C-alpha cells in the first residue's frame, strides 16, 4: 500500500512548527499549572470550567453535523469484526506498560507498590479522568490512592507523575519524528519535515538544561519568596537525582505504551475499512495526543476528535468516516475506563464490609 500524504505543498508548514514548539514547552507549562492550580480562585475555576464545557459541546455538535448518516448506515454493517476488539485490548495493554513505568520510578524510592496496584490505580484514574474535567483530575486520583494505601511521600508521588508526563511528551515526539524521518513521502518531501527531525534533540537539550543542571543562583535566591518557587526548585533537585538508566527505561516504556495505543487507532480504522496506513497514524496520533492535553476543553473532548478528523480528511479519508472513527475511539476509552469504575466500586464495597 502506498503511503498517504497528509500535507500537500507547504500548506501546514507553520502549524507543524507551532506544534513542535508546543511539544518542547508543554511539559514545563504542565508543571507550572500543577503547582499553581491550588492558588486559583473558585470563581475563576468555575469560569474556566464553563468555557471548557462550552468549547467541548460546540466542537462535538459541529462534528456531529459532519456525519453522513447514509454513509454510517453503509459502513457499520460492513465492519471487519476481526479488528473491532483489538483497540480495547491494546488500550488495556498500553495502560499495563504505563503501570510498569510508574512502578519502576517508585521502586527507585523504595516504594512497595506493585505493578498490579499501579495498574489498578491507573484504571481508576482513567475512570475519573473521563468524569472529571481535564487530564490532571485522573492523575490526582492516582496519587491520592497510592498515598492512602502506602502512606508514601506526597511530593515524590507527584514528582513521579510529572516525570511520567514529561517523558511521555518526549516519547510521542520521538514516534512522530522517527516516522517522518523514515517515511518522508508522508510529507511529500517538503521542508515541513525539518521541525520534526530537530524537535527531539531540541527537547532533550531543554530537559537537560531545566532538569539536570543546577538552577541559576538568581533563581535559587527566590526559594523563600513563595511556595510555588520553592516547589519548582525542589522538583529540579528531584529530577537531578535520577540515574540516566532509569530515565531511558521510562522513555522506552513510554514509547511502547504509546505505540500500543496508536495501534488500537489503526486497527479500529481497519475495522471501518479505511485504507490509511499504519505509518500515517504513527505520525498524526502524537499530534492528536499533544493537542488534546491543551487545557481548553473537558478532558480533551471535542479537541481530540476534531484534530484527528482534520488530519484524516487531509490524508484523503471521507469526513464522515473520520468523525465516526474519532467517536468510536472515544467510546473505546470509555469502555476501558468502566473497568476502572468497577474496580473502584469493588474497593468501596470491600472497605464498607470491613
The answer to whether the pTM exceeds 0.85 is no
pLDDT at 243: 84
**Nearest residue to 266 via CA among 214, 212, 219, 308:** 308
Residue 39: all three cell numbers together? 492558588
The x, y and z cell numbers of residue 84, run together, are 473491532
Q: How far is CA 161 from the centre of its chain?
A: 13
Low-confidence ranges of the chain (pLDDT < 50): 1-3, 7-30, 32-39, 135, 189-193, 218-223, 225-226, 228-229
C-alpha span between 75 and 236 (Å, rounded): 52
CB atoms within 10 A of CB 50: 10
Check if the beta carbon of residue 104 is closer than 8 Å to that of residue 246. yes
The answer to whether 301 and 60 have CB atoms below 8 angstroms apart is yes
Tell me, what's the pLDDT at 184?
64
End-to-end C-alpha distance for the chain, whole angstroms? 59
CA–CA dist 87, 297 (Å, integer): 24
Specify the DSSP element, H or E, that contains 161: helix 154-182
> What's residue 19's pLDDT?
46
- The confidence score (pLDDT) of residue 193 equals 47
d(CA 85, CA 91) in angstroms, rounded, equals 10
What gap in Å lies between CA 23 and CA 15, rounded to an integer? 12
Alpha-carbon distances, residue 36 vs 45, 95, 231 (angstroms): 12, 28, 10
Report the alpha-carbon distance of residue 9 to residue 48 in Å, rounded. 38
* Count of C-beta atoms within a 10 Å radius of residue 57: 14
pLDDT at position 249 is 93
Cell digits of residue 159: 514528582
* DSSP code for 211: I
**CA-based nearest residue to 199, from 307, 287, 282:** 287
* Length of the chain in terms of residues written: 354
Looking at residue 3, its pLDDT comes to: 46
| Neighbour-count burial of 194, counting CB atoms closer than 10 A to its CB (0-12 exposed, 13-18 middle, 19+ buried) | middle
CA angle (130, 119, 56) in 5-degree steps: 15
Question: Distance (Å, rounded) from C-alpha 247 to C-alpha 39?
Answer: 31
Q: What is the pLDDT of residue 18?
A: 42
What's the rounded Cα separation, in Å, for the pair 8 and 139? 39
Q: What is the pLDDT of residue 351?
A: 65
Pull the grid cell for residue 276: 490509511
Amino acid at each position: 500500500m502506498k503511503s498517504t500524504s497528509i500535507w500537500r505543498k507547504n500548506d501546514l508548514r507553520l502549524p507543524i512548527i507551532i506544534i513542535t514548539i508546543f511539544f518542547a514547552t508543554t511539559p514545563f507549562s504542565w508543571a507550572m499549572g500543577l503547582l499553581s492550580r491550588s492558588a486559583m480562585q473558585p470563581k475563576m475555576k468555575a469560569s474556566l470550567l464553563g468555557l471548557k464545557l462550552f468549547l467541548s459541546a460546540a466542537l462535538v455538535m459541529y462534528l456531529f453535523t459532519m456525519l453522513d448518516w447514509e454513509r454510517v448506515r453503509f459502513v457499520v454493517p460492513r465492519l471487519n469484526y476481526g479488528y473491532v476488539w483489538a483497540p480495547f485490548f491494546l488500550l488495556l495493554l498500553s495502560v499495563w506498560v504505563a503501570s510498569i513505568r510508574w512502578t519502576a520510578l517508585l521502586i527507585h524510592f523504595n516504594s512497595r507498590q506493585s505493578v498490579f496496584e499501579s495498574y489498578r490505580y491507573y484504571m481508576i484514574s482513567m475512570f475519573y479522568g473521563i468524569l472529571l474535567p481535564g487530564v490532571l483530575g485522573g492523575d490526582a486520583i492516582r496519587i491520592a490512592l497510592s498515598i492512602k494505601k502506602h502512606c508514601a511521600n506526597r511530593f515524590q508521588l507527584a514528582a513521579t507523575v510529572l516525570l511520567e508526563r514529561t517523558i511521555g511528551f518526549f516519547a510521542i515526539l520521538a514516534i512522530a519524528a522517527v516516522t517522518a524521518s523514515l517515511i518522508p513521502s508522508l510529507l511529500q518531501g517538503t521542508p515541513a519535515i525539518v521541525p520534526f527531525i530537530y524537535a527531539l534533540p531540541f527537547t532533550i537539550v531543554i530537559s537537560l538544561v531545566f532538569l539536570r543542571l543546577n538552577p541559576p543562583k538568581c533563581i535559587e535566591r527566590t526559594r523563600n519568596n513563595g511556595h510555588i518557587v520553592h516547589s519548582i526548585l525542589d522538583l529540579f533537585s528531584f529530577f537531578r537525582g535520577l540515574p540516566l538508566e532509569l530515565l531511558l527505561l521510562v522513555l522506552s516504556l513510554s514509547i511502547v505504551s504509546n505505540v500500543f495505543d496508536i495501534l488500537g487507532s489503526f486497527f479500529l480504522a481497519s475495522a471501518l475499512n479505511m485504507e490509511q496506513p499504519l505509518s500515517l497514524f504513527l505520525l498524526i496520533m502524537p499530534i492528536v495526543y499533544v493537542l488534546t492535553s491543551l487545557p481548553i476543553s473537558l478532558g480533551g473532548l471535542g479537541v481530540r476528535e476534531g484534530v484527528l478528523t482534520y488530519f484524516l480528511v487531509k490524508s484523503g479519508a471521507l469526513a464522515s468516516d473520520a468523525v465516526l472513527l474519532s467517536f468510536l475511539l472515544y467510546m473505546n476509552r470509555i469502555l476501558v475506563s468502566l473497568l476502572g469504575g468497577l474496580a473502584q466500586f469493588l474497593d468501596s464495597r470491600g472497605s464498607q464490609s470491613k
